[in-house]
Structure formats: structure tokens, C-alpha cells
């Protein structure tokens, strides 16, 4: 196994992030799979039953909401894994500086440092 990473984080730290992200990826894939089945089951129910009460709709919406949320989460996790494999993990895409470990632990898919993030948020407000 060759590590071509030029990330500033030591390999053992990257490995911890990786295994954590793999775990999340697996869980999210399962959750998405499960909700896809639920959505199909709900669709089957809906087609057979003309009586559509609002509690059914509410649970349908909840399933769809968690489905799209998990899809977004999975994309982020995959993005973080990609950044690890390309060696960009932990490096700010805006200023090229390092992203703090605490920020990465909270948001492994963060692609900019806290300063650049704060600046872009300020830019949005002004």
C-alpha cells in the first residue's frame, strides 16, 4: 500500500479519519438502502389504497427527508475520503493553510480553514 499523501497530518491520524469515515459510509449506505425499501413499500401502499390520511403523508415526508439527508451526508463522507486519498485532506482549498484538527474532527469534509470559512460567511452577510 503506497501513501502518496502530502497532507500535513500524520498517516496514523489519517488512518483514524479513514476508518471512521468508512464506518459512516457503511452505515449511511445501509440507511439509504433501508429508506429506499421503505419508500418503495410506501409507494405500494399508496397505489393500493385510495384513502390517503395525513399521518401517512407525514411519515412519507419523514422517510423522504431522512433519505435526502443521508444522501447529502454520504456525499460529504465520500468527499472527505476522496480528499484523504488525493492528499488534500486537512488543507484549506482557499488559502492552502492547514485546517485545525478540531474542525476536521467535527467536519471531516471541511475544505477550508476556520478563518476562510468565517470570511466567506461574512461575505455572504455583507
Please give the residue ranges that form the binding site for Zn ion (CB under 5 A). 92, 94-95, 97, 113, 116
Q: Give, in order, the Cα–Cα distances in Å from 104 to each of 6, 53, 101, 109, 124.
A: 17, 44, 5, 7, 23
When the beta carbons of 20 and 100 are compared against Zn ion, the nearer one is 100
| 62 φ/ψ angles, rounded to the nearest 5 degrees | -65, -40
CB of 16 to Zn ion, least distance (A): 23
Alpha-carbon torsion 106, 111, 113, 118, what sign?
negative
CB of 7 to Zn ion, least distance (A): 15
CA nearest to 82, candidates 116, 113, 111, 102? 111
| CA distance linking residue 39 with residue 27, whole number of Å | 18
When the beta carbons of 68 and 86 are compared against Zn ion, the nearer one is 86
CB of 113 to Zn ion, least distance (A): 4
CB of 123 to Zn ion, least distance (A): 13
When the beta carbons of 81 and 92 are compared against Zn ion, the nearer one is 92
When the beta carbons of 84 and 91 are compared against Zn ion, the nearer one is 91
Amino acid at each position: 500500500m503506497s501513501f502518496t499523501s502530502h497532507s500535513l497530518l500524520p498517516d496514523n491520524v489519517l488512518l483514524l479519519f479513514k476508518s471512521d469515515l468508512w464506518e459512516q459510509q457503511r452505515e449511511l449506505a445501509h440507511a439509504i438502502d433501508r429508506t429506499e425499501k421503505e419508500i418503495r413499500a410506501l409507494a405500494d401502499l399508496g397505489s393500493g389504497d385510495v384513502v390517503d390520511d395525513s399521518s401517512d403523508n407525514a411519515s412519507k415526508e419523514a422517510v423522504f427527508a431522512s433519505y435526502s439527508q443521508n444522501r447529502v451526508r454520504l456525499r460529504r463522507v465520500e468527499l472527505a475520503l476522496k480528499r484523504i486519498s488525493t492528499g488534500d485532506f486537512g488543507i484549506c482549498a482557499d488559502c492552502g493553510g492547514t485546517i485545525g484538527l478540531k474542525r476536521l474532527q467535527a467536519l471531516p469534509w471541511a475544505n477550508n480553514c476556520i478563518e476562510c470559512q468565517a470570511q466567506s460567511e461574512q461575505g455572504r452577510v455583507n
